[in-house]
Amino acid sequence: MKFLFLYCSLLFVCFRYTANAQQTPSLQYQLDSVNEQVRQLQKQLAEEHYTRIPNNDFDERLEYKISNQMQSEFLFWGTGMIAFFGLIGGILAFAGDKLMNDRVEKVVRKELSHLKDQLVSDIHQKIKDVEGSLEKELSHVEASLTEVMNFTLESKKFIYQQELEKLRNEVNKAPNSTDVMHRLQELLRKAEEIRYETLIPLIVEELTYVYYASRKYKDLEKLISTYAKDYRLKETTLVNAALSCINDYESYGSKSKREKGLEYLELALDQVSGYGEAQGLKLQVYMIDYSRAKVEQEKNMALKGAQGVLDEIVFAYSDVSAGETLRRLSRDHKNKAFAKYVDLLHNLFPEEMKKMEERATNYNHLLQEAKSGN
């Protein structure tokens, strides 16, 4: 916009200059003026109003004056024309240069924009290629690491299984060994580190044997309460935990231990319905209740609890419960502290115990046949 304004201003100045030049006397007019002066000089000569000058000098002076006058006029007009055309040329050159610069600038901007877009596109493509290559490499590395980790995990599982088998044999030889107890505790910690969910209940089971044999009943209860929440403990583990509580109940009359023992037995029966080891201990708990009852109502409650357990055993579909229960009672009858409760059970429920023995006999025959068949 500024360039257009400058261009119009210059054209206006040129137009004004040309108009003024047209208003000045033309060259012919100047020549007429000179001739008029010559005539005036001649007139003065005729009237003798002059000083005598030689003809040659006069002609030379006249010619010199006319020549100077003509040169002045030509110089003026020549300079004006040169200035005019120089101005027009400058304007055209400036306009051309400006126009050329604008075009060059547009072309440069266009090329730069195209180059920029091309570079950005190339960079994005390179980034995508690098990302794709890195993702492939990372996937390969992750797969390799996963394979190594899985191999390591399986190796640890195998080693821990072998270690547990070794410790299990040592528990059978020396269940109250402090060294075996510490090694089982360490194995349990390592199994937890790799979240070996199937092995943890087995380790806990062996630890309950050791705690029970070492009379560490508090440690046993703490072990059960810790792992019973998150793991499905074996029924044998729960029975051992219940047995420790029943021992405290029989020895010290602790009601809280009695309830805790029955709770563990119910958990074992939930896992294995009719589990004879748990049934046999429940019968002995009710016999302890009966023997220590101070009022008839307490005795009746104990008898009712024992009757319910006996009915489940006698009228069960399988003989397995009767055989396991009687085996538990026979083993506890060898314990002086519990022998009297087994005898009391036979005295209070002779018919039920006889039926249980009959079903247990059938169960033992089936076991013998199964062994002989193998």
Instruction: List per-block mean pLDDT (blocks of 10 residues) for the chain, which spans 374 residues.
Output: 49 48 51 65 54 55 64 66 71 67 73 77 78 77 81 91 95 93 96 93 94 91 90 93 93 94 95 95 98 95 97 93 95 94 97 94 82 66
Distance CA(279)–CA(14), nearest Å, equals 129
Alpha helix ranges (H) inside 272-349: 276-292, 296-314, 320-333, 336-348
Distance CA(224)–CA(264), nearest Å, equals 9
Q: In the prediction, which pLDDT does 111 show?
A: 75
**Contact 180/170 with Cβ under 8 angstroms?**
yes
**Contact 321/273 with Cβ under 8 angstroms?**
no
Domains in the chain: ranges and CATH: 2-116 (no CATH), 178-373 (1.25.40)
Q: In the prediction, which pLDDT does 4 show?
A: 47
Q: The dihedral of CA 5, 9, 11, 15: what is its sign?
A: positive
Q: In the prediction, which pLDDT does 13 show?
A: 47
Q: In the prediction, which pLDDT does 17 show?
A: 46
Q: In the prediction, which pLDDT does 120 show?
A: 80
Going by C-beta distance under 8 Å and a sequence separation of 6 or more, which residues neighbour residue 34?
66, 69
